[in-house]
Structure 1
Amino acid sequence: MLKEQLERMQHGLGFIAALDQSGGSTPKALRLYGINETQYHNDEEMFDLIHEMRTRIITSPVFTSEHILAAILFENTMDRKICGEYSADYLWNVKGILPILKVDKGLAPLENGVQLMKPITNLDELLIKAKQRHIFGTKMRSVIKEANPQGIAEIVEQQFAIAHQIALAGFIPILEPEVDIHAPDKKECEVLLKEEIINHLSMLDDNIHIMFKLTIPDTPDFYRALMSDPHVVRIVALSGGYTRQEANDKLAQNHGLIASFSRALTQGLHIDQSDEDFNALLKTSITSIYEASIL
């Protein structure tokens, strides 16, 4: 890992663009972009279309390192090229944006109020390929639906165990124990989650560095104390289903927390837009998210 990359992630101004919709979430992302299921016939065609959408975003003249620190990619995107270069190389070499890889394989069924990650059976092989593709970090998501102490403890235990393996392989792992914004006891979920995170941070080896991607908390600056932990490179926020305006407003109340938005970033983008209109809307989105991230 380049010192320059770690320095940029730790201290740079900007946010992370989440462009990592996988097989399950791709159809919805395409529908919002103006492409319905009748316009493709199999997964290969579907992934071709979503790569065209991501390429349009990434190659846009407004998608730059001035506002964007990193972009999260799906494995399929990592294996594809943009303008003749592998996606991660294009991001770093051309745009100066750090490439991050989504490594989880989706969610297990709900149990104890949470959805753990499914087993990542090919993680070692995936990390070898990620190293060859010049990936900076990884991301993995699980979901908390209710304030169940046992379930939340299991979520954090799983996240930290896999993060340790990823960190030892030379990457900066992003742990994403998402709290569902519709959870009736969301605030209590966040209290339990923070306690578990603090406990696990205290047990980490000194040479392990990680990041967190967390739901914007109900209490402003709730996660600020975690930012000073020597193991924590950065804490970023997911939009979680909020509109871009809602997510920006909530994010702006949490100093030091930066965005890692997906739907809120691409909201309003459409395949039928002219490049001028597409880039203008994307610029508005990027600028507003950036401004909420640097407070």
Structure 2
Amino acid sequence: MSNDKRRRPEIGHLEAAFGVSLDPELLERALTHRSYAYENGGLPTNERLEFLGDSVLGVVITTALFENHPDLPEGQLAKLRASVVNMRALADVARGLGPDGLGPYLLLGKGEETTGGRDKASILADTLEALLGAIYLQYGLDTAAIVIHRLFDPLMAESAGRGAALDWKTSLQELTAALGLGVPEYRIEGTGPDHLKTFTAWVVVAGNRYGGADGRSKKEAEQRAAESAWRTLTEQAEKAAEQVEKTADQAGTAADGSVDGQVNGTVDGQRELVDEVEAQAHHA
């Protein structure tokens, strides 16, 4: 038995936090980070379960927001969902699972272990999604939805309280400031007769153009362009961080269990960047 498994808290505490018991093999896979798998002969990782759990979580949260806010337009519903389903929010939920949080249950490689992986937002969020995927596989959508509501209803209630302040342009400006990309600039074109004019907006960030979004008013078009840019920039930063982490995992670990210094420095820098993105997503 590995040291990770020997020092884990009682697994029943984690299952009690979800309100369900999981097949031991399925549970083990959901807790297996790719760094641990690489160091132990290529074990199955939790990435496929994470992919599944992400979709299940999205369906359940989107359905709940759609039903609970019948008067909100699509753009505001999307903003509410982004404030609930993001890396930082998921990590906070994971830290609140049981008396010890999710971190002590993770199976991590030595490099991640020595660089604080047990409290890293991206790893906690990904593992939570993997566990939700495992619950869906074993019990189906109805039970998975009950578990998700149990964990995420407080976040949805909090996001609803911020509904009147939803503003993609503000969120984008906060995000670009966090990423060091400067202030967004907007470009608008109008077409059609005055009484039926349609506006198309683009937003320029660090020389790159995003959007091409239409609206019946300049404000609506700008909001949609800002949303498009916010989503694209957030996704790009998170993917860049994931790629750097995978490179570090595949590079292996040094004899003393630490990640190679150059790779580790790159990973830490990218982590700081993504932490800023996560913070903006959570507080948007």
TM-score by length of 2: 0.28
The structure carrying a bigger strand percent of its residues is: 1
Pick 1 or 2: higher relative contact order, CA cutoff 8 A, min separation 6. 2
TM-score (normalizing by structure 1) = 0.27
